[in-house]
Structure 1
Amino acid sequence: MSSALTAETRAQLRESAAQCARSATTDPAALTALRRSGVLATAVPHRYGGQGGDGAEVNRVVADLASVNPSLAIIAFQHFAVTARIAEWGAPEQQERLLPGLADGSLLAASAWSEPNAGAAKQNVSSAGVLREDGTWVLNGAKSFATGAGVADLYLVLVRTRTGSEESVRGHYGAPDQSFFLVEAGNPGLRPDTGPVLAGMRGSATGLIELVECAVPDRDRVGPLGHAAEIIAGVRRTGATLGAVALGIAQEAVQVAEEHAERRGLLELDTVRHRLVELWVQLEAVRAVVALAGARTSSDPGSTTLRSKLFATESAERICSEVARMVSSAGYVADHPVVRMLADVRGVAMMGPTSDLCRTLLAAEWQR
């Protein structure tokens, strides 16, 4: 596949990550570079101009992006997640209309699921869609921590749709009366706000989405009514994992440690070499568990994906913390790369499914 970043793009995105960490804003030039890079086509089927990549390929691309710019990696991951839902659950007309743009970068997709006080499992979502007599839906509600808010062209929104006629599928993530809708950025009822300043992932445009009498046609519904939980579970089974973001960050952190040791002439010391070996071993364990998720060879791919997210994120945080100790006082300077990496990898733990929700879902599977 031709989804590798060029050296020039990698340098641009790495510099952008440092700038965004200082300014707490999204870099339009970096977003343009992402759109033009070709990587957004990764998860789009070949017949729509994409690269037909599976979960393993998505993980590879996301990890590569995260090694230079974790914020853009998160934006890309959400783009791939929405693409996968349209490719699997979208109506033929929907696929013909949207997937080519999602492949060539003219459309950037984002998810808007989380809400204040709704809980990580999304079972108490209060945003609602009401079906009007003319066949359109009117969506109202507020979404929080939507990555790509204000920069995406297309949002996949999770709302309650109680019509009394849909066949519902219960799941641990989501509720049986929830459905997905696609809302275009130009819709007057969609109001993004990137006001919150995050500790990490500061270039990810993670903010709020308000839905105010947001009218969408029924053709923009993704999948059957009331089947949101089933759709979410199905995507986990593809093996695409946020653990890939953590992997990319950990790779970059280990490289920082190696460069620091070499620059300071510390490689002559056994203690330093041993610490580097330990970092390499931890990094290989993260790489292996992310690869296992993408391979989908286990009897329960969905649970493997959850485990990979949990293990990779927590291991990557330990790696970044150890690197911060290795670079000594430099690791306490606000502008040092390892400070940004540590903040970014902690952010991955709070992205859906959060690490705590991963534990809850896995415990429920084990109990059954």
Structure 2
Amino acid sequence: MNFNLTDVQQEFVKLAKDFGEKKLAPTITERDHQGIFDRALVDEMLSLGLAGAYFEEKYGGAECDVLSYILAVEELAKYDAGMSITLSAHVSLCINPIWQFGTEEQKEKYLPGLIEGTKLGAFGLTEPNAGTDASGQQTVATKDENGDYILNGSKVFITNAGEADVYIVFAMTDKSQGTKGISAFIIEKGWEGFTFGKKEDKLGIHTSQTMELVFQNVKVPKENLLGGEGKGFKVAMMTLDGGRIGVAAQALGIAEAALNDAVEYSKQRVQFGKPLCKFQSVSFKLADMKMKIEAARNLVYKAAFLKHEGQPFTVDAAIAKRFASDVAMEVSVEAVQIFGGYGYSEEYPVARHMRDAKITQIYEGTNEVQLMVTSGALLR
């Protein structure tokens, strides 16, 4: 495939790069160490138009392509992996399902604010006892006499929770039907009975906010049912397919940042009378890191291309997510090794890259799930 970037795609990269260099890089160490989710920075990032890359102009989008968006996620991750996943969750997990499954009324109501960045989005599927196995949902939605829904339950590990204005939430509307009894809803922050619980203290991505959602008799208008009753599992799985490309792009950016830091350090650090990079054990390690990153890049960009073209991309997204996240972990660990004792210190960024990389192997479906998806398609 030809991955020569178009002028438009290059402009998305430039927007993300400039924002990363000028606004994220100067404060990332402080925000990471203190666990600061900076809503003003998020709003500024969204105001650049990065969220609207592949959506129609009538909803406020740029009507370009999926790769433009993925490139922005990748670029942001080089400077701040938390900001990168904030954008990815906003677009892939909130805007996209409304765009893909919503009624025209739902699209007109929610998409413009989300795409233009005046509203922030989130996605609530995971529960304490329903992680990889989404069929274990305990959150329920029952109909009242007017046909509206009453929502009760909780969700955990929700990216952007507490700050997001719009949430895609999944609940059982018919427990007897298993996964066919799951429905999806569009929920707004501020509705009576909708509150937030525990804020997670995480290993990495400290600049991304992760919290619990709590629903106590939350009245959801029937107009906010997304995709039809009993269609929630389909909505969730198809949404996660796209989300996996975003996580793969985040992982790619983290790996690139770790490699760049390791290359620069290896040129400057002198041991036994010469720079580290002059030792074959180090230079070959750097070469291996570069090769893995380039292989990951091709997988990620291919998955984005297929999604944009409307071709089947489920398996390609699973492969890209699995491979890119493994590369992010491997490359960041090797970067720490090249830095030696300094790499284990929070004084240098490679420690942050390693902490941030780990979650990419877990969320949007663990890497074991990606193997299940891939092998399932092979053996069908």
Report how far residue 325 of structure 1 moved.
0.4
1:35 alignment partner AA: L
For the residues of structure 2 that align with 1:338 and 1:268, how far apart are their CA atoms?
Answer: 21
Is 2:234 aligned against 1:230?
yes
8 Å Cα contact 2:150/2:219 also seen in 1? yes
* Equivalent in 250, 255, 261 of residue 255 of structure 2: 250
Query: How many residue pairs end up in the alignment?
Result: 360
In structure 2, the partner of 1:311 is 323
Amino acid at match of 1:178: I
Q: Which runs of 4+ in 1 moved over 4 A?
A: 236-239, 297-300
Instruction: Between 179-188 and 263-272, report the one with greater CA deviation.
Output: 263-272
Looking at structure 1, the residues matched to 62 and 246 of structure 2 have their Cα atoms a distance apart, in angstroms, of 19
1:107 and 2:119 equivalent? Answer: yes
Give the Cα–Cα distance (whole angstroms) in 2 for the partners of residues 298 and 86 of structure 1. Answer: 17
The structure-2 alpha-carbon separation of the partners of 1:243 and 1:42, relative to structure 1 and needing over 3 Å to count, comes to same
Structure 1 residues 79 and 291, CA, compared in 2 at 3 Å: closer, same or farther?
same
Cα distance in 2, alignment partners of residues 9 and 331 from structure 1: 22
Which residue of structure 1 aligns with residue 36 of structure 2? 25
Instruction: Tell me how far apart the structure 2 counterparts of residues 136 and 351 of structure 1 sit (CA, whole Å).
Output: 32
Question: Deviation per CA, 1:242-283, whole angstroms, max 9, x where unpaired?
Answer: 111100100110110111022224344444332222221111
Please, what is the CA RMSD of the aligned residues? 2.2
CA contact (8 A) 1:42 1:51 kept: yes
Counterpart-to-counterpart distance in 1, 2:81 and 2:310: 28
After TM superposition, the structure 1 stretch with the greater mean CA deviation from structure 2, 228-237 or 42-51, is 228-237
2 CA distance for matches of 1:75 and 1:253?
A: 20
Which residue, 40, 49, 64 being the options, matches 1:38? Answer: 49
Structure holding more helix per residue: 2
Paired residue secondary structure (2:196): strand
Q: Is the 8 A contact 1:78 1:109 kept in 2?
A: yes
- The 1-side partners of 2:378 and 2:19 are apart by 47
Q: Is residue 313–residue 349 contact of structure 1 (8 Å, CA) maintained in 2?
A: yes
- The answer to whether the 8 Å contact 1:59/1:244 transfers is yes
| 1:364 corresponds to 2:376 | yes
- The reply on whether 1:72 has 2:77 as its aligned counterpart is no
In structure 1, the residue matched to 2:4 is none
Q: Is the 1:42–1:80 contact (alpha carbons within 8 Å) kept by the matching residues of 2?
A: no
Query: 2:265 maps to what in 1?
Result: 260
The answer for the alignment partner of 2:145 in structure 1 is 133
**Structure-1 separation of matches of 2:27 and 2:196:** 23
Whether contact under 8 Å (1:254, 1:280) holds in the other structure is: yes
The one-letter code matched in structure 2 to 1:68 is Y
Could you tell me whether the CA contact under 8 Å between 1:16 and 1:27 is conserved in 2? Answer: no
Aligned partners of 2:20 and 2:203: how far apart in 1? 25
**Which among 269, 284, 288 is matched to residue 274 of structure 1?**
284
Report deviation, 1:193.
Answer: 3.1
Whether contact under 8 Å (2:240, 2:364) holds in the other structure is no
Preserved contact between residue 43 and residue 80 of structure 1 (Cα < 8 Å)? no
Structure 1: any 5+ residue segments left out of the alignment? Answer: 169-173
The answer as to 2:188 corresponding to 1:184 is: yes
Q: 1:177 to 1:201 in 2, by over 3 A?
A: same
Larger CA deviation: 272-281 vs 2-11 = 2-11
2: distance between equivalents of 1:6 and 1:280?
20
Q: 1:101 to 1:198 in 2, by over 3 A?
A: same
Q: What SS does the aligned partner of 1:116 have?
A: coil
CA gap 1:43/1:179 in 2 versus in 1, 3 angstroms? farther
> Contact 2:132–2:366 at 8 Å: present in 1 too?
yes
Kindly state the Cα deviation for residue 299 of structure 1 after the two structures are TM-superposed. 7.5
| CA distance in structure 1 between the aligned counterparts of 2:17 and 2:296, rounded to whole angstroms | 25
Paired with 1:88 and 1:140, the residues of 2 have a C-alpha distance of 26
Aligned sequence identity (%): 25
